[in-house]
Amino acid sequence: MNDKSLVCPQCGADAHRGLVADGDEVDWSARCANGHGEVTEDGLLLTTEKAADGYEVTQEAGKDGRVICRYGGPWKIADTLLQSILDLERQRLGPGKTVDLLSAKKIQWNLKAAKRRFRRLLNRSNNNLPPIEDQSLRELAAELLDEYRKGMWTGDDAWYSDDDLMRWSQEGFFQELKDYELRKSREPMLVLSKLLPEPLSTAFHQVRECYRNGLFVGTVGMSRVILEDVVKRASGDLEDGSSFVQMVYRLPESLLQTRDKQKAIRLKFDSNTVLHAAGVGFSESEAFLHFSGVAEIVSILANKGTLN
Protein backbone atom coordinates (compact mmCIF):
# COMPACT_ATOMS: atom_id res chain seq x y z
CA MET A 1 0.00 0.00 0.00
CA ASN A 2 1.48 3.38 -0.85
CA ASP A 3 1.14 6.59 1.09
CA LYS A 4 -1.48 8.02 -1.26
CA SER A 5 -4.06 5.47 -0.29
CA LEU A 6 -3.63 6.08 3.41
CA VAL A 7 -6.18 8.47 4.82
CA CYS A 8 -7.24 9.20 8.36
CA PRO A 9 -10.46 7.28 9.05
CA GLN A 10 -11.64 10.04 11.34
CA CYS A 11 -11.37 13.10 9.10
CA GLY A 12 -10.48 11.75 5.67
CA ALA A 13 -7.28 13.79 5.44
CA ASP A 14 -4.20 12.26 3.85
CA ALA A 15 -1.81 10.50 6.15
CA HIS A 16 1.82 11.29 5.33
CA ARG A 17 4.97 9.54 6.30
CA GLY A 18 7.28 12.14 7.69
CA LEU A 19 10.46 12.54 9.59
CA VAL A 20 9.13 13.03 13.05
CA ALA A 21 12.12 13.05 15.29
CA ASP A 22 11.53 11.42 18.61
CA GLY A 23 14.83 11.63 20.39
CA ASP A 24 17.22 9.84 18.07
CA GLU A 25 14.46 7.73 16.58
CA VAL A 26 13.14 8.52 13.15
CA ASP A 27 9.47 7.81 12.89
CA TRP A 28 8.33 6.59 9.48
CA SER A 29 4.76 5.98 10.44
CA ALA A 30 2.00 7.68 8.49
CA ARG A 31 0.23 10.45 10.37
CA CYS A 32 -3.02 12.28 9.86
CA ALA A 33 -2.39 15.76 8.44
CA ASN A 34 -4.94 17.12 10.93
CA GLY A 35 -3.08 15.67 13.87
CA HIS A 36 -5.41 12.82 14.75
CA GLY A 37 -2.46 10.48 15.04
CA GLU A 38 -0.81 7.53 13.39
CA VAL A 39 -2.63 5.68 10.59
CA THR A 40 -1.80 2.00 10.17
CA GLU A 41 -1.32 0.05 6.93
CA ASP A 42 -4.94 -1.00 7.25
CA GLY A 43 -6.08 2.61 7.44
CA LEU A 44 -6.86 2.50 11.15
CA LEU A 45 -6.07 5.18 13.68
CA LEU A 46 -3.59 4.00 16.27
CA THR A 47 -3.55 5.26 19.83
CA THR A 48 -1.58 4.05 22.81
CA GLU A 49 -2.45 4.77 26.39
CA LYS A 50 -0.79 3.93 29.63
CA ALA A 51 -3.26 2.23 31.89
CA ALA A 52 -3.38 2.85 35.63
CA ASP A 53 -1.53 -0.41 36.30
CA GLY A 54 1.40 0.74 34.19
CA TYR A 55 0.90 -1.41 31.12
CA GLU A 56 0.36 0.08 27.69
CA VAL A 57 -2.85 -0.49 25.80
CA THR A 58 -2.92 0.08 22.05
CA GLN A 59 -6.12 0.65 20.14
CA GLU A 60 -6.78 0.67 16.43
CA ALA A 61 -9.94 2.51 15.48
CA GLY A 62 -11.93 2.90 12.28
CA LYS A 63 -14.75 5.25 11.27
CA ASP A 64 -16.67 7.04 14.04
CA GLY A 65 -13.88 6.16 16.45
CA ARG A 66 -15.05 2.57 16.43
CA VAL A 67 -12.38 0.41 18.12
CA ILE A 68 -11.43 -2.44 15.80
CA CYS A 69 -8.88 -4.10 18.06
CA ARG A 70 -7.07 -3.56 21.32
CA TYR A 71 -3.94 -5.13 22.75
CA GLY A 72 -1.57 -4.86 25.66
CA GLY A 73 -2.18 -5.58 29.33
CA PRO A 74 -5.19 -7.84 29.69
CA TRP A 75 -6.30 -7.29 26.08
CA LYS A 76 -5.56 -9.84 23.40
CA ILE A 77 -5.59 -8.74 19.80
CA ALA A 78 -7.23 -11.86 18.34
CA ASP A 79 -10.05 -11.80 20.89
CA THR A 80 -10.80 -8.09 20.61
CA LEU A 81 -10.58 -8.15 16.83
CA LEU A 82 -12.92 -11.12 16.49
CA GLN A 83 -15.33 -9.58 18.98
CA SER A 84 -15.43 -6.42 16.83
CA ILE A 85 -16.13 -8.41 13.70
CA LEU A 86 -18.90 -10.26 15.50
CA ASP A 87 -20.45 -7.04 16.82
CA LEU A 88 -20.18 -5.31 13.46
CA GLU A 89 -21.78 -8.26 11.67
CA ARG A 90 -24.63 -8.16 14.18
CA GLN A 91 -25.00 -4.43 13.73
CA ARG A 92 -24.98 -4.80 9.98
CA LEU A 93 -27.63 -7.49 10.05
CA GLY A 94 -29.41 -6.03 13.07
CA PRO A 95 -33.11 -6.92 13.24
CA GLY A 96 -35.53 -4.25 12.08
CA LYS A 97 -33.22 -1.40 12.95
CA THR A 98 -33.46 1.58 10.67
CA VAL A 99 -29.96 2.66 9.97
CA ASP A 100 -29.32 5.66 7.78
CA LEU A 101 -27.20 5.14 4.73
CA LEU A 102 -24.16 6.94 6.13
CA SER A 103 -24.09 4.84 9.30
CA ALA A 104 -24.56 1.70 7.26
CA LYS A 105 -21.61 2.64 5.09
CA LYS A 106 -19.45 3.27 8.13
CA ILE A 107 -20.36 -0.09 9.60
CA GLN A 108 -19.49 -1.71 6.29
CA TRP A 109 -16.18 0.13 6.17
CA ASN A 110 -15.29 -0.87 9.73
CA LEU A 111 -16.22 -4.48 9.06
CA LYS A 112 -14.09 -4.65 5.95
CA ALA A 113 -11.17 -3.03 7.76
CA ALA A 114 -11.54 -5.45 10.66
CA LYS A 115 -11.48 -8.45 8.35
CA ARG A 116 -8.43 -7.08 6.56
CA ARG A 117 -6.80 -6.61 9.95
CA PHE A 118 -7.53 -10.23 10.82
CA ARG A 119 -5.90 -11.35 7.61
CA ARG A 120 -2.81 -9.30 8.39
CA LEU A 121 -2.71 -10.77 11.87
CA LEU A 122 -2.56 -14.24 10.30
CA ASN A 123 0.12 -13.17 7.85
CA ARG A 124 2.28 -11.66 10.53
CA SER A 125 1.95 -14.66 12.80
CA ASN A 126 2.67 -17.16 10.02
CA ASN A 127 -0.88 -18.48 10.38
CA ASN A 128 -0.41 -19.31 14.04
CA LEU A 129 -3.60 -18.05 15.55
CA PRO A 130 -3.23 -17.68 19.33
CA PRO A 131 -5.58 -19.77 21.48
CA ILE A 132 -9.11 -18.37 21.65
CA GLU A 133 -11.00 -19.44 24.73
CA ASP A 134 -14.42 -18.16 23.79
CA GLN A 135 -16.32 -20.65 21.70
CA SER A 136 -18.33 -18.22 19.60
CA LEU A 137 -15.18 -16.26 18.74
CA ARG A 138 -13.48 -19.52 17.82
CA GLU A 139 -16.35 -20.41 15.55
CA LEU A 140 -16.18 -17.00 13.94
CA ALA A 141 -12.43 -17.42 13.39
CA ALA A 142 -13.02 -20.77 11.71
CA GLU A 143 -15.66 -19.20 9.48
CA LEU A 144 -13.35 -16.34 8.52
CA LEU A 145 -10.55 -18.76 7.71
CA ASP A 146 -12.91 -20.67 5.52
CA GLU A 147 -13.91 -17.49 3.71
CA TYR A 148 -10.26 -16.59 3.39
CA ARG A 149 -9.36 -19.93 1.85
CA LYS A 150 -12.16 -19.70 -0.64
CA GLY A 151 -10.96 -16.25 -1.62
CA MET A 152 -14.20 -14.59 -0.72
CA TRP A 153 -13.09 -11.85 1.61
CA THR A 154 -15.84 -9.30 1.55
CA GLY A 155 -14.97 -6.47 -0.73
CA ASP A 156 -11.70 -7.92 -1.95
CA ASP A 157 -11.56 -9.07 -5.53
CA ALA A 158 -8.33 -10.95 -5.10
CA TRP A 159 -7.18 -12.79 -2.04
CA TYR A 160 -3.69 -11.41 -2.55
CA SER A 161 -2.71 -7.78 -2.52
CA ASP A 162 -0.35 -5.58 -4.50
CA ASP A 163 1.97 -5.95 -1.54
CA ASP A 164 2.03 -9.69 -2.06
CA LEU A 165 2.75 -9.38 -5.78
CA MET A 166 5.56 -6.95 -5.10
CA ARG A 167 7.05 -9.26 -2.55
CA TRP A 168 6.90 -12.23 -4.91
CA SER A 169 8.47 -10.40 -7.83
CA GLN A 170 11.32 -9.13 -5.70
CA GLU A 171 12.25 -12.65 -4.72
CA GLY A 172 14.38 -14.74 -7.03
CA PHE A 173 12.18 -17.78 -6.73
CA PHE A 174 9.03 -16.22 -7.93
CA GLN A 175 7.23 -19.36 -8.94
CA GLU A 176 8.21 -21.40 -5.89
CA LEU A 177 7.41 -18.59 -3.58
CA LYS A 178 4.12 -17.95 -5.26
CA ASP A 179 3.12 -21.59 -4.97
CA TYR A 180 4.24 -21.60 -1.36
CA GLU A 181 2.27 -18.46 -0.62
CA LEU A 182 -0.79 -19.72 -2.47
CA ARG A 183 -0.82 -22.89 -0.42
CA LYS A 184 -0.11 -20.99 2.76
CA SER A 185 -3.09 -18.76 2.12
CA ARG A 186 -5.40 -21.72 1.75
CA GLU A 187 -3.91 -24.25 4.09
CA PRO A 188 -5.91 -25.82 6.92
CA MET A 189 -5.56 -23.88 10.15
CA LEU A 190 -6.20 -24.86 13.71
CA VAL A 191 -8.64 -22.83 15.73
CA LEU A 192 -8.02 -23.97 19.26
CA SER A 193 -9.14 -23.11 22.75
CA LYS A 194 -5.66 -23.75 24.11
CA LEU A 195 -2.21 -24.72 22.93
CA LEU A 196 -1.55 -28.25 21.68
CA PRO A 197 0.87 -30.50 23.55
CA GLU A 198 4.40 -29.76 22.33
CA PRO A 199 5.01 -32.88 20.17
CA LEU A 200 1.68 -32.46 18.40
CA SER A 201 2.26 -28.81 17.74
CA THR A 202 5.74 -29.57 16.34
CA ALA A 203 4.27 -32.24 14.08
CA PHE A 204 1.61 -29.82 12.90
CA HIS A 205 4.25 -27.27 11.93
CA GLN A 206 6.10 -29.97 10.02
CA VAL A 207 3.08 -31.14 8.04
CA ARG A 208 2.35 -27.55 7.21
CA GLU A 209 5.82 -26.99 5.78
CA CYS A 210 5.50 -30.20 3.75
CA TYR A 211 2.26 -28.96 2.31
CA ARG A 212 3.47 -25.42 1.62
CA ASN A 213 6.55 -26.78 -0.16
CA GLY A 214 4.53 -29.11 -2.32
CA LEU A 215 5.76 -32.32 -0.68
CA PHE A 216 2.43 -34.08 -0.88
CA VAL A 217 3.47 -37.60 0.08
CA GLY A 218 5.13 -36.08 3.13
CA THR A 219 1.95 -34.15 3.86
CA VAL A 220 -0.17 -37.28 3.84
CA GLY A 221 2.40 -39.22 5.88
CA MET A 222 2.74 -36.52 8.53
CA SER A 223 -1.01 -36.06 8.67
CA ARG A 224 -1.30 -39.73 9.45
CA VAL A 225 1.27 -39.49 12.24
CA ILE A 226 -0.68 -36.60 13.77
CA LEU A 227 -3.98 -38.43 13.46
CA GLU A 228 -2.62 -41.49 15.24
CA ASP A 229 -1.04 -39.40 17.95
CA VAL A 230 -4.11 -37.31 18.63
CA VAL A 231 -6.38 -40.36 18.82
CA LYS A 232 -3.93 -42.06 21.18
CA ARG A 233 -3.88 -39.04 23.47
CA ALA A 234 -7.64 -38.66 23.41
CA SER A 235 -8.25 -42.31 24.17
CA GLY A 236 -5.96 -42.21 27.19
CA ASP A 237 -2.97 -43.84 25.54
CA LEU A 238 -3.21 -47.11 27.45
CA GLU A 239 -0.49 -48.81 25.44
CA ASP A 240 -2.54 -51.98 25.63
CA GLY A 241 -2.03 -52.89 22.03
CA SER A 242 -5.39 -51.61 20.87
CA SER A 243 -5.60 -50.95 17.19
CA PHE A 244 -6.30 -47.53 15.80
CA VAL A 245 -9.87 -48.52 14.96
CA GLN A 246 -10.46 -49.84 18.47
CA MET A 247 -9.11 -46.64 19.99
CA VAL A 248 -11.33 -44.52 17.76
CA TYR A 249 -14.44 -46.48 18.70
CA ARG A 250 -13.49 -46.35 22.36
CA LEU A 251 -13.88 -42.56 22.28
CA PRO A 252 -17.26 -41.50 23.68
CA GLU A 253 -19.78 -40.08 21.26
CA SER A 254 -19.72 -36.79 23.17
CA LEU A 255 -16.06 -36.44 22.23
CA LEU A 256 -16.18 -37.61 18.65
CA GLN A 257 -19.39 -38.31 16.80
CA THR A 258 -19.81 -41.44 14.70
CA ARG A 259 -19.56 -39.46 11.49
CA ASP A 260 -16.16 -38.07 12.56
CA LYS A 261 -15.01 -41.47 13.80
CA GLN A 262 -15.71 -42.90 10.39
CA LYS A 263 -13.89 -40.01 8.84
CA ALA A 264 -10.83 -40.57 11.04
CA ILE A 265 -10.73 -44.23 10.09
CA ARG A 266 -11.11 -43.47 6.42
CA LEU A 267 -8.29 -40.93 6.56
CA LYS A 268 -6.03 -43.42 8.23
CA PHE A 269 -6.73 -46.18 5.70
CA ASP A 270 -6.46 -43.89 2.70
CA SER A 271 -2.98 -42.95 3.85
CA ASN A 272 -1.83 -46.57 4.15
CA THR A 273 -0.45 -46.50 0.62
CA VAL A 274 2.16 -43.99 1.76
CA LEU A 275 3.69 -46.56 4.05
CA HIS A 276 3.26 -49.62 1.93
CA ALA A 277 4.38 -48.58 -1.51
CA ALA A 278 7.28 -46.34 -2.36
CA GLY A 279 6.73 -44.06 -5.29
CA VAL A 280 3.06 -43.54 -4.66
CA GLY A 281 2.05 -40.03 -5.56
CA PHE A 282 -0.58 -37.74 -4.18
CA SER A 283 -2.04 -34.76 -5.93
CA GLU A 284 -2.22 -31.42 -4.24
CA SER A 285 -5.97 -31.75 -3.74
CA GLU A 286 -5.61 -35.23 -2.21
CA ALA A 287 -2.93 -33.96 0.13
CA PHE A 288 -5.09 -30.99 1.03
CA LEU A 289 -8.06 -33.22 1.82
CA HIS A 290 -5.96 -35.39 4.11
CA PHE A 291 -4.37 -32.48 5.85
CA SER A 292 -7.63 -30.58 6.35
CA GLY A 293 -9.47 -33.71 7.45
CA VAL A 294 -6.85 -34.40 10.08
CA ALA A 295 -6.77 -30.76 11.17
CA GLU A 296 -10.51 -30.96 11.70
CA ILE A 297 -10.23 -34.05 13.92
CA VAL A 298 -7.39 -32.42 15.88
CA SER A 299 -9.53 -29.31 16.45
CA ILE A 300 -12.52 -31.32 17.66
CA LEU A 301 -10.48 -33.40 20.10
CA ALA A 302 -8.30 -30.54 21.31
CA ASN A 303 -11.23 -28.21 21.95
CA LYS A 304 -12.95 -30.78 24.10
CA GLY A 305 -9.95 -30.59 26.38
CA THR A 306 -8.88 -34.20 26.31
CA LEU A 307 -5.33 -34.10 24.99
CA ASN A 308 -2.38 -34.53 27.29
> CB of residue 107 vs Zn ion: minimum separation in angstroms?
20
Which of 8, 44, 68, 287 forms a contact with Zn ion (CB under 5 A)? 8
Nearer to Zn ion, 7 or 86 (CB): 7
Nearer to Zn ion, 36 or 119 (CB): 36
Work out whether 29 is an interface residue with Zn ion (CB under 5 A): no
| C-alpha span between 71 and 56 (Å, rounded) | 8
With b for 16 or more beta-carbon neighbours within 10 A and e for fewer, the 248-281 pattern comes to beebeeebbeeebbebbbebbebbeebeeeeeee
Work out whether 65 is an interface residue with Zn ion (CB under 5 A): no
Specify the stretch interacting with Zn ion by CB under 5 A; choose among 28-36, 95-103, 155-163, 291-299. Answer: 28-36
Work out whether 34 is an interface residue with Zn ion (CB under 5 A): yes
Specify the stretch interacting with Zn ion by CB under 5 A; choose among 31-39, 72-80, 237-245, 262-270. Answer: 31-39
Which of 1, 11, 238, 280 forms a contact with Zn ion (CB under 5 A)? 11
| C-alpha span between 101 and 31 (Å, rounded) | 29
**Among candidates 267, 287, 276, which has minimal Cα distance to 217?**
287
Contacts of 110 (CB under 8 A, 6+ apart): 62, 63, 64, 66, 68, 84, 88
Sign (positive or negative) of CA dihedral 253, 255, 260, 262: negative
**Are the C-beta atoms of residues 51 and 73 closer than 8 Å to each other?**
yes
| C-alpha span between 60 and 71 (Å, rounded) | 9
Nearer to Zn ion, 40 or 299 (CB): 40
Total residues at interface with Zn ion (CB under 5 A)? 7
> CB of residue 56 vs Zn ion: minimum separation in angstroms?
22
> CB of residue 106 vs Zn ion: minimum separation in angstroms?
15
Nearer to Zn ion, 8 or 192 (CB): 8
Specify the stretch interacting with Zn ion by CB under 5 A; choose among 10-18, 236-244, 252-260, 269-277. Answer: 10-18
Binding string to Zn ion for residues 153 to 192, with x set by CB under 5 A, is what?
A: ----------------------------------------
| C-alpha span between 157 and 144 (Å, rounded) | 16
Work out whether 32 is an interface residue with Zn ion (CB under 5 A): yes
Work out whether 36 is an interface residue with Zn ion (CB under 5 A): yes
Position 206, amino acid: Q
Specify the stretch interacting with Zn ion by CB under 5 A; choose among 30-38, 62-70, 139-147, 160-168. Answer: 30-38
Nearer to Zn ion, 34 or 202 (CB): 34
Specify the stretch interacting with Zn ion by CB under 5 A; choose among 1-9, 129-137, 161-169, 182-190. Answer: 1-9
What is the pairing mode between strands 45-50 and 38-39? antiparallel
Nearer to Zn ion, 64 or 162 (CB): 64
> CB of residue 13 vs Zn ion: minimum separation in angstroms?
5
**Are the C-beta atoms of residues 192 and 204 closer than 8 Å to each other?**
no
**Among candidates 296, 263, 282, 127, which has minimal Cα distance to 218?**
282
**Would you tell me which residues interact with Zn ion (CB under 5 A)?**
8, 10-11, 13, 32, 34, 36
